[in-house]
Each structure stands twice: as structure tokens, then as C-alpha cells.
């Protein structure tokens, strides 16, 4: 596409040159900008590289690159070995040639790269009824793995649809914060990593699923756990204080179980709902400020565990995700087998989420990511539904998948 060619080949952003959606205007402004700033030849070279089979563009590139072109000015051209200025007829000829190249190149771009850009941008924005304007949203920090990338991609695809994210205050649940701001009409839609609760549903909010995630538990690599994982009953016993030490689970050391958690996180909330049947934990957890700190604490504490999003934890190289199940003979890993140990784990070779188990529900702690809207508010309905529809499209589902989440549908 045209914006990709400019970004990758010329390190330029199309939306900084023009935000027009009319292709002819886009091509005209692009060529005018390239001509004014002196990178038209580079643009032709990049287009030639992108469209190597286009004979017309190849001819333009050869002719343009073989000539020295300039416009009529009062300044004498720099002609080595001569102080003689070209006559007016020669100047007109060169200027006429330059204009012809510009026009023909515009037509070529219009019918090749540019058409791809126009066809995709126009069709995707119209298909999902993407509105024009500036829209505000807030919510889940779980989305941080792909939120900014999605924003940049939307800005390229639908440049007149501008998104502004509102950060949540420290110590508050980000999903809940976003939903409250939506109810207060301070944002147009919100994003969440948990289901709407009954009291929120009473407000006639609508949740639209866009990805699948899971709650994962990580533990220290040096902990010699005799079983391959934990049942939900055992996990419940840890949280209710019935099992406070690892030796009660067969570990040969008398280690205290230390639960680290980001207070008021959606994943602590999910454990409360799915493991503790809605009751508060009787075990006093140790608060941490972020996922990074939680992972670091478990790495340092042999008896520690930390609970958060599988997308954030499964790929970690310094701690190990814990298999979970309803029965000991039905334990399911949150990662794909075979497991990649710490010694082999690298940035480009690391554990991936167990897509099949998350999709078919065999892994016991599943949740989804949602876009939350107010259907009775036209602005919220229009912008939030468009945002959700974009995220559910194949292009954005790939971005979500690359970030460690599971596509909502194949």
C-alpha cells in the first residue's frame, strides 16, 4: 500500500502529508510535496521497486533518473565547465519534461500503488461505518500489548477517525475506571478485560468481544513442584488460607506461599469470581505496582506466585506458568507444548498461548477482551461499534494474535 511504501522506503508518513480520503488529491499532494522537498526521484525509485512489473513506471524511472531536471529560476544552473545559461527554449523543454513526468507518474501511482491504498482505506472505513472526528476512550491495561499499534494502524487506515486514550489513576481497576467514565459520558467507549457485572448491565451497556485471553499463574523456576500443576480446588485452598505453605503440596521445603498481585486488577477480580465463588480472599496478598514487578518478585522469591493475563505471562522467560485443571488428571497448560525452558527462551523463541485450550474452554480460567458501548448514545454507538468492528476484522485480529492473545474467531 502507498502508506507502507512511504513509511518503509522513505521514512515518511502519508497522514502527515495529507489526511484527504480522495485518491486524486492524495496523489497530487504527495507528488507536490516530493517535488518541493527534493525527493521525487526517491519516490519514483521506491515506486519502481514496489511495482517492478509496471513497464510504464520503469520507463519513467529510467528517463527521469538519466536526466538532470530543474525549474526556471533567476539562479544560474550549475553546469560543469560552462558559465553559459541554457536558452529559454531549452529551459521550457526541461520544465515541460519535468511536468510531463510528474503527471504521468501521478497516473501510474493512481493506477497501481495508490489504487491499493484508496481501495483498502475507502472500503474498510465505509464497510465498518467509521465516523470522522476525535473520540475518547479508557480502560484495561491488559490491552497495552497492542493498543498503541492498533491506534497507529487505524490512523493510517481511517485518518479522520482520531482516538484519544484516558489513563486511569494508580491503584484503581482500569477496566472499571473505563466503564465508570463511559457511564459518566466522559469517554465515548471503553475497553475491558472482564465481563460486565450485573449492576453495570442494568445501565444498558453493551459488551462486544474482540479477543480471548486467560488468567495465568507463574511460579519460581527453582520450586520443585512434584505435581505438574494445580487443581482449582488447590488454588482455592491457597487463597482461603487452608494451604499456606508449599510442603502441603508435596514440595520438600517448608516455604511460605507468597501471592503477589496488582490490587484491583481484573485478574484478581476474575480469580475472585471463578475460583472463590465471588468471595474475598482470606489470604493476605502482597501488592505490586505492575506486571513487571510481579514477575520480578516471583523470580526473587522461591515461594512466590503471581497472577495476571496469560498474554503477558506465558512468554516470560524468567518465571514458569503453572498448568491448571478441575482434576489432577486434567491439568492443562496455558502455553503450547513442548514447553520452552528458561535456558532456551529468547525474544524470538518463547512460549506461546495455548490457543486450542483457550478456544475450546479446557483451560479453566478463560476471559475475553471487550469494547464497551452505550447503545442508546449515538456517539458511543457509532464510534465504539466501528472500533470493535475494526478489531474483529482479519487485519486487526492478526495484530491481536501477534501480541499473545487469541483471535475471537478464525
Q: What is the pLDDT of residue 42?
A: 84
Q: Which residue ranges in the chain fall short of pLDDT 50?
A: 68-77, 79, 81, 91-95, 107, 110-111, 115, 117-119
Q: What is residue 261's predicted lDDT score, i.e. its pLDDT?
A: 92
255, 247 contact by CB (below 8 A): yes
The pLDDT of residue 68 is 45
pTM for the full predicted model: 0.71
Query: Which sequence spans correspond to the domains of the chain?
Result: 2-124, 131-213+368-407, 214-367
Residue 169 CB burial class (10 angstroms; 0-12, 13-18, ≥19)? exposed
- Residue of 106, 114, 127, 135 whose CA lies nearest to 35: 106
Cβ count near 378 (within 10 Å): 10
3-class SS shares of the chain: helix, strand, coil, % to 5? 45, 15, 40
Same topology, domains 131-213+368-407 and 214-367? Answer is: yes
Q: Is 41 exposed, middle or buried (0-12, 13-18, 19+ CB in 10 A)?
A: middle
Task: Write phi, then psi, for 157 (nearest 5 degrees).
Answer: -75, -40
Report pLDDT for 71. 42
The answer to whether 108 touches 57, Cβ cutoff 8 Å, is: yes
Give the model's pLDDT for residue 86.
Answer: 52
166 backbone dihedrals φ, ψ, rounded to 5°: -100, 120
Q: What is the CATH number of domain 131-213+368-407?
A: 3.40.190.10
pLDDT of residue 393: 94
State the first-to-last Cα distance of the chain, in angstroms, to the nearest integer. 25
Q: What is the reported pLDDT for 279?
A: 85
Domain 214-367 coded CATH 3.40.190.10: yes
- pLDDT on residue 74: 42
> What residues have CB less than 8 Å from 293, skipping those under 6 apart?
260
Residue 278 is classified by DSSP as: T
CA distance 135 to 137: 7
Amino acid at each position: 500500500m502507498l502508506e507502507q511504501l512511504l513509511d518503509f522506503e522513505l521514512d515518511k508518513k502519508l497522514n502527515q502529508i495529507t489526511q484527504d480520503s480522495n485518491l486524486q488529491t492524495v496523489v497530487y499532494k504527495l507528488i507536490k510535496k516530493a517535488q518541493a522537498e527534493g525527493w521525487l526521484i526517491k519516490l519514483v525509485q521506491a515506486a519502481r521497486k514496489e511495482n517492478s512489473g509496471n513497464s510504464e513506471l520503469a520507463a519513467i524511472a529510467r528517463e527521469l533518473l538519466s536526466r538532470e531536471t530543474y525549474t526556471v529560476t533567476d539562479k544560474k544552473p550549475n553546469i560543469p565547465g560552462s558559465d553559459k545559461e541554457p536558452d529559454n527554449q531549452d529551459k521550457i523543454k526541461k520544465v515541460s519534461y519535468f511536468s510531463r513526468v510528474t503527471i504521468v507518474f501521478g497516473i501510474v501511482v493512481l493506477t497501481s500503488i495508490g489504487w491499493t491504498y484508496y481501495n483498502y482505506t475507502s472500503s474498510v472505513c465505509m464497510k465498518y461505518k467509521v465516523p470522522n472526528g476525535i473520540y475518547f476512550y479508557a480502560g484495561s491495561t491488559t490491552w497495552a500489548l497492542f493498543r498503541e499499534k492498533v491506534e497507529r494502524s487505524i490512523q493510517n487506515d481511517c485518518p479522520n477517525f482520531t482516538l484519544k486514550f484516558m489513563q486511569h489513576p494508580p491503584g484503581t481497576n482500569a477496566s472499571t475506571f473505563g466503564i465508570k467514565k463511559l457511564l459518566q459520558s466522559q469517554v465515548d467507549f471503553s475497553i475491558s478485560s472482564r465481563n460486565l457485572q450485573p449492576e453495570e448491565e442494568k445501565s444498558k451497556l453493551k459488551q462486544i468481544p474482540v479477543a480471548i485471553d486467560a488468567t495465568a499463574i507463574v511460579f519460581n523456576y527453582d520450586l520443585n513442584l512434584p505435581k505438574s500443576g494445580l487443581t482449582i480446588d488447590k488454588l482455592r485452598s491457597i487463597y482461603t488460607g487452608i494451604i499456606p505453605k508449599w510442603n502441603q503440596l508435596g514440595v520438600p521445603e517448608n516455604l511460605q506461599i507468597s501471592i503477589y498481585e496488582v490490587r484491583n486488577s481484573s485478574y484478581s477480580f476474575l480469580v475472585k469470581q471463578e475460583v472463590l465463588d465471588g468471595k474475598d480472599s482470606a489470604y493476605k496478598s502482597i501488592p505490586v505496582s505492575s506486571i513487571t514487578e510481579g514477575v520480578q518478585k516471583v523470580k526473587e522469591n522461591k515461594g512466590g506466585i503471581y497472577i495476571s493475563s496469560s498474554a503477558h505471562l506465558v512468554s516470560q522467560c524468567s518465571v514458569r506458568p503453572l498448568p491448571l485443571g478441575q482434576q489432577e488428571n486434567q491439568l492443562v497448560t496455558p502455553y503450547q507444548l513442548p514447553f520452552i525452558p528458561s535456558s532456551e527462551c529468547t525474544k524470538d523463541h518463547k512460549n506461546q498461548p495455548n490457543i486450542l485450550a483457550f478456544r475450546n474452554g479446557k483451560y479453566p480460567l478463560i476471559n475475553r477482551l471487550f469494547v464497551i458501548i452505550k447503545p442508546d448514545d449515538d456517539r458511543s454507538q457509532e464510534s465504539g461499534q466501528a472500533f470493535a468492528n475494526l478489531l474483529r476484522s482479519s487485519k486487526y485480529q492478526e495484530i491481536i494474535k501477534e501480541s499473545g492473545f487469541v483471535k475471537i474467531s478464525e
